[in-house]
């Protein structure tokens, strides 16, 4: 998940993960993004929240762990992984939760692709064009990192960063780089 590391707020250093738990959470509020202000999802979880799994690794390309049971979302039962060579400019979508309604699919456009032969966190630029998501969040907000990005029915990557000066736009990371970091690709 995430598409980027969890870092220390003050130093920017990647936090060492000795153990961690993935728990169910709830979105309570949205601070809408505006030029110069990235916005955020505000959520909560408690010690009584359902445990979904454990975190075992925190890297530049996300957090990794083990699920206690099969995880699913209401949008897709299965998604094929796309190779970075399959990512094209044009129509795409992002899966995210921005309210109590759970995971929903929202439209976006891939507007720029970076040819990469080595890992980099900023692989392409996406722009949110879904009116419902723009109304609710203003685009990409803090807390949407790790939201899956789909194109042509395949998982192509995840949201990593928002453009502070234009919250409709943000960066995505190729799924290849997340899988490579996880140890699934050579």
Residue tagged active-site, from 93, 123, 145, 147: 145
Catalytic site includes residue 145:
yes
Catalytic site includes residue 4:
yes
Distance CA 181, CA 175 (A): 10
Distance CA 158, CA 171 (A): 9
Residue tagged active-site, from 60, 99, 129, 130: 130
Catalytic site includes residue 161:
no
Please state, as a whole number, how many other Cβ atoms lie within 10 Å of the Cβ of residue 82.
21
Distance CA 128, CA 135 (A): 11
Cα atoms found within 13 Å of the Cα of residue 141, Cβ hemisphere only? 24
Residue tagged active-site, from 4, 93, 147, 181: 4
* Residues designated catalytic: 4, 130, 145
């Amino acid at each position: 998940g995430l598409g980027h590391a969890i870092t220390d707020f003050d130093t920017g250093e990647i936090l060492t993960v000795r153990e961690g738990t993935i728990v169910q959470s709830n979105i309570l509020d949205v601070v809408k993004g505006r030029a110069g202000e990235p916005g955020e999802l505000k959520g909560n979880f408690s010690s009584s929240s359902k445990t979904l799994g454990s975190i075992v690794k925190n890297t530049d390309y996300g957090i990794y762990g083990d699920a206690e049971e099969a995880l699913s979302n209401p949008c897709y039962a299965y998604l094929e992984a796309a190779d970075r060579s399959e990512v094209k400019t044009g129509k795409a979508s992002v899966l995210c939760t921005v309210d109590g309604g759970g995971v929903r699919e929202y439209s976006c456009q891939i507007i720029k692709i970076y040819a990469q032969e080595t890992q980099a966190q900023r692989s392409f630029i996406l722009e949110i064009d879904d009116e419902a998501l723009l109304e609710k969040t203003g685009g990409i907000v803090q807390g949407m990192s790790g939201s899956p990005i789909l194109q042509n029915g395949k998982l192509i990557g995840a949201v990593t960063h928002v453009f502070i000066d234009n919250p409709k736009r943000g960066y995505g990371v190729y799924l290849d780089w997340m899988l490579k970091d996880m140890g699934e690709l050579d």
